[in-house]
Chains A and B, each alone.
Chain A
Amino acid sequence: MLQKLKIVGFGLGAGILSGLLGVGGGIILVPILVSLLGFAQHNAHATSLAVIVPTAIVSSVVYSYHGNIDVVLAITLAAGSIVGAGLGAKWMKHIPAAQLKRMFGALLVIVGVRMLWS
Chain B
Amino acid sequence: MVIAVSILAGLAAGILSGLLGVGGGIVLVPMMVFILGVSQHIAQGVSLLVIIPTAASGLWHLHKEKLVDYKTAALLSLGAIAGAMLSANFVQSLPAAELKKIFGVFVIIMGGRMIFAKPRAKAENK
- Using a CB–CB distance below 8 Å, which chain A residues touch chain B? 4, 7-27, 29, 33, 37, 39, 42-43, 45-47, 49-60, 62-64, 66, 68-74, 76-92, 95, 97-98, 100-102, 104-116, 118
Q: Which residue of A lies closest to B39 (CB)?
A: A68
Additional A-B contacts beyond A14-B76, A20-B90 (14; CB < 8 A): A8-B78, A9-B79, A10-B79, A14-B79, A15-B85, A16-B87, A19-B83, A37-B72, A59-B88, A80-B12, A80-B14, A85-B54, A87-B14, A108-B114
User: How far, in whole Å, are A113 and B116 apart by their CA atoms in the complex?
Assistant: 18
Question: Chain A contacts of B65 at CB under 8 A?
Answer: 46
Q: Which residue of A lies closest to B65 (CB)?
A: A46
Q: Which residue of A lies closest to B110 (CB)?
A: A108
Residue B46 contacts which of A69, A85, A115 (CB distance < 8 angstroms)?
A: A69
| A46 x B102 contact (CB < 8 A) | no
- A and B contact pairs by CB, cutoff 8 A, 16 listed: A14-B79, A18-B88, A19-B87, A22-B29, A23-B23, A23-B29, A46-B59, A49-B68, A60-B52, A63-B45, A66-B92, A80-B10, A84-B11, A86-B14, A87-B11, A97-B20
Known: A33-B72, A49-B62, A115-B101. A68 touches B45 (CB 8 A): yes
| B44 x A68 contact (CB < 8 A) | yes
Known: A49-B58, A55-B81. A77 touches B25 (CB 8 A): no
Residue A104 contacts which of B16, B29, B47, B101 (CB distance < 8 angstroms)?
A: B16
| A24 x B20 contact (CB < 8 A) | no
Per CB-CB distance, the 10 closest pairs between chain A and chain B, nearest first, are A84-B14, A88-B18, A22-B44, A80-B10, A15-B83, A11-B79, A105-B114, A108-B111, A115-B104, A23-B25
